[in-house]
Amino acid sequence: MIYTLTRGVGWVFFAIHVICIGQSSLPNQMLSISLLVSSTLLTIYNVGNDNVVGKKLCIKKGMGLESHKDAYLYLRPTYQEVRILEHYLRLPCRPENNGDIISQWNSDWWKEWDERYFRLLLSKHF
């Protein structure tokens, strides 16, 4: 909800920015566009970003991984990493037991995850 609202506000300000660029002088237009492009490039290349979540991971096809769950279990995440994946919505939300279909699917998903993750913790290869 917050993400959707923030994204909508961003688009509104972008539309205002486009209109303002069209009504400004050429030097102001060039300055505005150069700031926009340079900040975008800095963001793309992670300049000044110390965030370790979402670094480039590569899992090749044909490794016997049929789902995202298999891929995440293959990476053998620690408990803290699982919590981070949940926080950034890379894993489904924990079920709230509403009795609806999504809660049931989430409950089944997490039940299988917990069983397989617990087996990984007990294995000597972890």
Domain presence at residue 49: no
What is the distance between the alpha carbons of residues 9 and 115, in angstroms, rounded to a whole number? 42
Q: How many domains does the chain have?
A: 2
For residue 51, tell me if it sits in a domain.
no
Q: Look at residue 125 in the predicted model and tell me its pLDDT.
A: 56
Residue 72 within a domain: yes
Domain-located, residue 80: yes
Per the CB < 8 A criterion, the answer to whether 72 and 85 are in contact is: yes
Residue 56 lies in a domain: no
Asked, for residue 35, whether it belongs to a domain, the answer is yes
Asked whether the beta carbons of 79 and 119 are under 8 A apart, the reply is no
In a domain, 58, yes or no: no
Q: Using a CB cutoff of 8 Å and minimum separation of 24, what contacts does 110-119 make?
A: 112/69, 113/69, 113/73, 116/69, 116/73, 117/73, 117/82
Residues 78 and 114 in one domain: yes
Distance CA 83, CA 90 (A): 10
Q: Which two tokens stand for residue 26?
A: 């050429």
Q: What is the pTM of this model?
A: 0.45
Per-residue pLDDT tens digits for 62-73: 667 777 788 888
Per-residue pLDDT tens digits for 73-123 = 888 888 888 888 888 888 888 777 666 777 777 888 888 888 888 888 777
Task: Please report which helix (H) or strand (E) contains residue 6, including its range.
Answer: helix 2-23
39 and 74, same domain (yes or no): no
The verdict on residue 97 lying in a domain is yes
Residue 9 domain boundaries: 2-44
- Residue 62: what pLDDT? 63
